[in-house]
């Protein structure tokens, strides 16, 4: 009950998402299934990177260093990933192949290809 009281302003503003199978007595609303959880997160959080179709094996790690944004893109699966990617942030983009250190400048929408277990680094200098 104390947690719900502290969170009440955020709950009332629709900014709290809680994933649970059953409602507890603390009055914090729950989201009980994965699809509803993803939809709630999508409503509350703006994605930096959007892919054209679901990529369950794509892992993305975001880090900010000295104001520049870096995204580690990793294919965790055994199949090639080939998808269109849209970056919602603005700025100078470059894609770095971690195996060769080759760099390529990009537009905000580009085609991403990752072999199985391949990693690439996306760098963004905000404008």
Mean pLDDT estimate for the chain: 89
Do 109 and 62 share a domain, yes or no? yes
**Would you mind telling me the total number of residues written for the chain in this entry?**
127
Residues 37 and 58 placed together within one structural domain of the fold = no
- Whether residues 68 and 113 share a domain: the answer is yes
pLDDT at 109: 96
3 state SS of 2: helix
Which residues are CB-neighbours of 36 under 8 A, at least 6 positions away?
none
User: What CATH number does residue 117 fall under?
Assistant: 2.60.40.1180
In contact, 60 and 66? CB cutoff 8 Å: no
Q: Are residues 56 and 89 in the same domain?
A: yes
Residue 1 has pLDDT above 90, yes or no: no
- Domain range for 86: 49-126
Asked if 108 and 72 sit in the same domain, the reply is yes
Element (H, E) at 12: helix 2-12
**Distance, CA of 124 to CA of 98 (rounded, Å):** 16
Confidence grade of residue 119 (pLDDT, cut at 50, 70, 90): very high
In a shared domain, residues 18 and 74: no
Read off the pLDDT of residues 86-105 as tens digits, 9 standing for 90 and up: 999 999 999 998 999 999 99
Q: With 70 as the cut, is the pLDDT of residue 26 above it? A: no
């Amino acid at each position: 009950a104390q947690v719900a009281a502290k969170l009440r302003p955020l709950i009332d503003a629709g900014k709290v998402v809680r994933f649970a199978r059953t409602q507890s007595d603390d009055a914090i609303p729950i989201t009980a299934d994965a699809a509803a959880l993803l939809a709630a997160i999508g409503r509350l959080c703006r994605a930096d990177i959007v892919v054209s179709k679901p990529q369950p094996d794509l892992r993305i790690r975001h880090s900010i260093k000295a104001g520049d944004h870096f995204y580690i893109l990793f294919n965790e699966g055994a199949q090639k990933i080939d998808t269109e990617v849209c970056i919602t942030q603005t700025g100078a983009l470059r894609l770095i192949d971690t195996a060769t250190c080759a760099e390529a400048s990009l537009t905000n929408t580009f085609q991403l290809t990752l072999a199985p277990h391949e990693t690439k680094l996306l760098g963004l200098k905000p404008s």
